[in-house]
């Protein structure tokens, strides 16, 4: 499909996004968070829980005296490694049982501590690049079907039911399966441990659950002769740690938005900015495609009005992602089919918006979310709205296609709902496979005009943000009509300024490797 857009305006928007993100990046570089430090411990190989069910990375970090925090956890832990001669996992266990305390290791000089860490840093990163390697081999051998990649969610609360549902969905044509997190997990300042069978509106994101799903999907991938991808959620208070677990268990995508936690979960903005940066560096290194959350803007406010905000957020997410070393093909910018279906010509507006994103972010792995807000108990009409969404997606060449459910307004998907949803997408995308190639949008027509309005609206918005600065802009409710204070919200106490001697071995290693990767 062809849509004419104002390229200069697009260029200006990118410059504005860069101007907006730069100062935030400076702030990020000077700070760290408890979650970043715990992520470092996990990368070294620390895992498991204490007898009191506290995740060992949390236990260790909590045991670190306040005044030592600014230096980061790595050095302190490195000293312990050097003096005990244990490997990180064993040392973690021992500390969990109270056999050692971080404070007792004072002898070792910094150099020796770094030396003790080095092998484990390397093996930690090798483990991840090993998974990255495994993924590309699997994709070679078990090629996916052409995009839009059909993506479904499982959310029973019980990982074993989820596994059943995921395998069934894969057989029915799903190419990506996401396990929805239980409500509230994103507000926990730790990551639950072990396989779980209880959750509300979703299933807990734990490393064990990741593994259970990965094994099942690898199995069915072999059976189907095509690789089925696995997705989970990072955004929240534990973005960096979940990024580590996902890298180790070879997840293929992670929901990872630079502002979602701030706006939609009232998580402190500084905490979020720092966390998203480190987690995205890890995503970049592990070859994980991030999914951003622009769709959320549309669930609470009117989709026609919010279109410029969505585009603005896409520009900002892109800039943050690039700064973390993510290549375009790993950036799944979000959008959703949320315009009131009963609005005359709403389909035209949806096409305009979707094609606009396609033209502006040609290489990005655009992620298209289904209608949700306007879905009702009328499952028959809902199925039709999903059909028009499916048509828009294939017409505009979206990359990642989150299949809508006719029961969206009723319950988290049943096995049968998912099968109907996939049948819907398969039918529509096949019957109209090359329709997009066949049509030219009338120059000066309604679709072109709408796209133009959205783009110019976005530029104006970015200008305002650039003028005040991102943090102030968020405080003055520029996004999603919610105001968040720079020092307010959840998890601010987990943010700290780095001391000159701050040391995080992985950050350095990643920064180095990334330029290589992203090319």
Q: What are phi and psi of 253, to 5 degrees?
A: -140, 155
| Partner whose footprint covers residue 233, from other proteins, ligand PLP, ligand B12, none (CB < 5 to 8 Å by kind) | ligand PLP
The catalytic residue among 275, 367, 373, 386 is 367
Task: Check if 381 is active-site.
Answer: no
Cα–Cα dist 183/162, whole Å: 16
| Partner whose footprint covers residue 63, from a copy of itself, ligand B12, other proteins, none (CB < 5 to 8 Å by kind) | none
Cα–Cα dist 34/402, whole Å: 33
Site for a copy of itself contains 420 (CB under 8 A): yes
Site for ligand B12 contains 165 (CB under 6 A): no
What is the closest distance, in whole angstroms, from the C-beta atom of residue 442 to ligand PLP in the complex? 35
Contact set for a copy of itself, span 174-193 (CB under 8 A) = none
Largest CA distance in the chain: 75
User: Are 285 and 320 spatial neighbours (Cβ–Cβ below 8 Å)?
Assistant: no
User: In 3-state terms, what secondary structure has residue 382?
Assistant: helix
Cα–Cα dist 153/156, whole Å: 10
Structure tokens at 18: 């860069």
* SS3 assignment for 93-130: HHHHCCCCCHHHCCCCCHHHHHHHHHHHHHHHHHHHHH
The catalytic residue among 260, 337, 349, 502 is 260
Binding residue for a copy of itself, selected from 79, 277, 374, 383, defined by CB under 8 A = 383
Binding residue for ligand B12, selected from 101, 136, 300, 483, defined by CB under 6 A = 300
| Partner whose footprint covers residue 168, from ligand B12, other proteins, a copy of itself, none (CB < 5 to 8 Å by kind) | other proteins
Site for a copy of itself contains 384 (CB under 8 A): yes
Binding residue for ligand PLP, selected from 33, 221, 235, 350, defined by CB under 6 A = 235
User: Are 82 and 112 spatial neighbours (Cβ–Cβ below 8 Å)?
Assistant: yes
Residue, CB closest to ligand B12: 201
DSSP assigned state of 318: H
| Partner whose footprint covers residue 510, from ligand PLP, ligand B12, a copy of itself, none (CB < 5 to 8 Å by kind) | none
Task: Check if 270 is active-site.
Answer: no
DSSP assigned state of 63: H
CB nearer ligand PLP, residue 233 or residue 389: 233
Task: Check if 260 is active-site.
Answer: yes
Closest CA to 457 of 302, 292, 312, 262: 312
The catalytic residue among 257, 275, 295, 386 is 295
Cα–Cα dist 229/174, whole Å: 9
Question: Which residue ranges make up the site for ligand PLP (CB under 6 A)?
Answer: 181, 185-186, 233, 235-236, 255, 257, 260, 265, 292-293, 296
Mind telling me the catalytic residues?
A: 260, 295, 367
């Amino acid at each position: 499909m062809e849509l004419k857009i104002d390229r200069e305006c697009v260029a200006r928007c990118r410059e504005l996004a860069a101007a907006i993100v730069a100062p935030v990046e400076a702030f990020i570089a000077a700070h760290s968070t408890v979650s970043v430090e715990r992520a470092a411990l996990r990368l070294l190989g620390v895992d498991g829980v204490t007898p009191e069910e506290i995740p060992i990375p949390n236990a260790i970090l909590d045991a670190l005296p306040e005044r030592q925090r600014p230096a980061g956890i790595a050095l302190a832990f490195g000293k312990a490694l050097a003096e005990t001669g244990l490997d990180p996992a064993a040392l973690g266990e021992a500390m969990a049982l109270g056999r050692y305390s971080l404070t007792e290791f004072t002898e070792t000089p910094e150099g020796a501590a770094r030396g003790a860490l080095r092998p484990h840093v390397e093996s930690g990163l090798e483990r991840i690049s090993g998974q990255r390697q495994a993924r590309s081999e699997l994709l070679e051998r078990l090629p996916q079907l052409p995009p839009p990649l059909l993506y479904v969610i499982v959310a029973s609360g019980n990982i074993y039911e989820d596994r059943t549902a995921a395998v069934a969905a894969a057989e029915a044509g799903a190419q990506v399966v996401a396990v929805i997190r239980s409500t509230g997990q994103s507000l926990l300042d730790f990551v639950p441990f072990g396989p779980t069978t209880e959750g509300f509106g979703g299933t807990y994101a734990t490393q064990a659950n990741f593994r259970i799903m990965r094994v099942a999907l690898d199995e069915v991938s072999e059976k189907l002769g095509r690789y089925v991808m696995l997705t989970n959620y990072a955004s929240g208070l534990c973005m960096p740690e979940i990024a580590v677990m996902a890298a180790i268990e070879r997840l293929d995508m992670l929901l990872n938005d630079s502002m979602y936690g701030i706006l939609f979960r009232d998580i402190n903005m500084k905490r979020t900015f720092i966390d998203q940066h480190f987690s995205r560096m890890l995503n970049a290194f592990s070859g994980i495609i991030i999914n951003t959350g622009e769709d959320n803007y549309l669930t609470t406010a009117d989709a026609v009005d919010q279109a410029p905000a969505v585009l603005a957020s896409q520009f900002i997410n892109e800039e943050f992602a690039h700064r973390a070393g993510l290549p375009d093909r790993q950036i799944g910018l979000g959008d959703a089919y949320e315009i009131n279906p009963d609005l005359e010509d709403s389909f035209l507006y949806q096409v305009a918006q979707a094609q606009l994103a396609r033209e502006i972010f040609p290489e990005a792995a655009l992620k298209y979310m289904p209608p949700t807000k306007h879905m009702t108990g009328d499952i028959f009409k809902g199925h039709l709205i999903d059909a028009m969404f499916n048509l828009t997606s294939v017409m505009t060449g979206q990359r990642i296609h989150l299949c809508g459910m006719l029961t969206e307004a009723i319950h988290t998907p049943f096995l049968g709902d998912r099968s109907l949803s996939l049948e819907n997408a398969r039918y529509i995308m096949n019957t109209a496979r090359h329709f997009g190639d066949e049509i030219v949008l009338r120059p000066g027509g309604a679709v072109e005009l709408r796209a133009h309005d959205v783009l110019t609206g976005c530029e104006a918005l970015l200008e305002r943000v650039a003028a005040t600065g991102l943090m102030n802009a968020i405080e003055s409710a520029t996004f999603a009509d919610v105001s968040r204070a720079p020092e307010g919200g959840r998890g601010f106490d987990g943010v700290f300024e780095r001391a000159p001697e701050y040391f995080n071995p992985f950050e350095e290693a990643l920064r180095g490797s990334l330029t290589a990767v992203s090319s």
